[in-house]
Amino acid sequence: MRAEKQRNTGKQKIVYGLCGMLLMLALLPLLLRPGRQTDIRAEVLFLGDSIIGQYRDETSIPWLVAGQMGVAVVNGDFGGTTMSRQNREGRDAYYWDGLSFSQLAKAVAAQDFGGQQTIRTKNYVTMHFGDIVDELDRLDLSTVQTLVVSYGMNDYTTGSPIRNPDNPEDAYTMEGAMRTGIRVLRQSYPRLRIVFVSPTYCWWFTDKEGSVVDFCENHDFGGGHLEDYVEAQRRVARECGVEFLDLYHGFYPNDKLEDWRLYTEDGIHPNEAGRWKIAETLAAYLLNEQRDLSEYKNCKISE
């Protein structure tokens, strides 16, 4: 009986030992993971979609803003992304939510881009996303003085809800995601200047040949018109005490259908003239706009 008990005890020790070894092996990557290598410094960080971030060369809006302001910038814009989260169905392969504003704001606040580092895609349009995440991960966030946030066009085209009356911080709505992102950023960086930039006016091609266009006022993709999203951003910015630059009203000429050719290449994304126009307006705003940090506050929800 004693011998059998000793054998059982010995087996238990072996099992416990193996479990301990497996646990250590599982935790080893985390234990050995080095700290963030913050060798990039910038005064202005851009987070947003392709309206500002589609181009990444010397004609890009962040590059032009950097030249006009004489500061270093980081272009953290991901084309096709939204202010709000989209994965309501819980799809395992859905990676866009990690690049939405509310999730990127949490990564910036925590200085931890581990979740974004797991996002890799074979889509040729988004192959560069990994390089952007790497750059964000190397950014010394203590050097960032201004955050420029520019989402909304894709929230509009995907028909994302603008608000949830029962939950003002519902990150699956544009207003809720905006409030959530502002709150977490304010907690970690109370002196950070946050500037939201609205989507620009746009036109839609209405046939396969791309020869007929229509004004965006005539298109509702399920959540409202583009102007509704713009006004929602203005409202939340006011409630949360952050800045808002309106590039929708009176920015692009839109009296005639053919006006889309002046500043856009496809009715939505700015051409080189449009990028210059946005960059000049944004740089002038950032350089000249007077702001009072005492106005920054916790979001106050309008009745």
Rounded CA separation 45/53 (Å): 12
Pick the CATH number of 40-295 from 3.10.450.630, 3.40.50.1110, 3.40.50.300, 3.40.30.10: 3.40.50.1110
The confidence band for 224, taking pLDDT boundaries of 50, 70 and 90, is: very high
What does the pLDDT look like over 36-60, one tens digit per residue? Answer: 688 899 999 999 999 998 899 999 9
Enter the pTM of the model.
Answer: 0.84
pLDDT, tens only, 54-87: 899 999 999 999 999 999 999 999 999 999 998 8
Ramachandran region, residue 234 (left: φ > 0; alpha: ψ -120 to 50; beta: rest): alpha
In terms of Cα–Cα distance, which of 154, 171, 189 is closest to 236? Answer: 171
Q: What is the mean pLDDT of residues 11-37?
A: 52
Rounded to the nearest 10 degrees, how much is the dihedral formed by the CA atoms of 265, 268, 269, 273? 60
pLDDT score at 303: 43
Q: How far is Cα 87 from Cα 151, in angstroms, rounded to an integer?
A: 17
Domains of the chain by residue range: 1-33, 40-295
The model's pLDDT over 164-218, given as tens digits with 9 standing for 90+, comes to 999 999 999 999 999 999 999 999 999 999 999 999 999 999 877 767 899 999 9
Q: What percent of the chain has pLDDT over 70?
A: 78
Each residue's pLDDT tens digit, 231-273? 999 999 999 999 999 999 999 999 999 999 999 999 999 999 9
Q: Quick one: pLDDT at residue 115? A: 85
